[in-house]
Amino acid sequence: MRSIIMETGLNADCLVFEIMESISIHQIDSILGTLNDLKKIGVRVAIDDFGKGYSALNYLKHFPIDILKIDKCFIKDINVDERDAVITQAMINMAHGMGLKVIAEGVETVRQLECLKHLRCDMMQGHLISRPLPAKKASRFLEHP
């Protein structure tokens, strides 16, 4: 693992390893060792698509998670469906209570962005911010957003 960091020249704390919420609960033991090794060298760990699967809370309990990424299915109608807003607020509150950062996926409108800011979501990602970019364009985007 250290060799990957040395090859790229990145600091480990600049890297986030994402695990899908849909991974099998039967794989916890093998995955836990790898995640702990990553954490030891400074890599952060995120659960992707949170809220979509069935065992997400179990992962929060067992895995050394730093970031919770709320699935876009809750963000899509967050400003028009009160249930989505309430569920998203609960996930943000729970994550913050555990000392985790929260990223909302699939932010496509200013209204969604404003709602998420109001709910104290830490970060947002989606087409409103930027469409996926190749590495060179991403570097320019980060230098001059």
69 and 122 Cβ atoms separated by less than 8 Å: no
**Residues 57-67, mean pLDDT to the nearest whole number:** 84
| Burial class of residue 40 in the structure, from the number of CB atoms within 10 Å of its CB (0-12 exposed, 13-18 middle, 19+ buried) | exposed
Which residue, 99, 92, 98, 97, is CA-closest to 124? 92
What CATH code would you report for 2-143? 3.20.20.450
Q: Running DSSP on this structure, what letter comes out for residue 69? A: E
d(CA 138, CA 5): 20
The per-residue pLDDT for 2 is 54
d(CA 74, CA 91): 10
**pLDDT at residue 131 greater than cutoff 60:** yes
The per-residue pLDDT for 1 is 53
**Residues 29-56, mean pLDDT to the nearest whole number:** 84
Q: What is the band of 33 on the pLDDT scale with cuts at 50, 70, 90?
A: confident
pLDDT tens, position by position, 85-95: 999 999 999 99
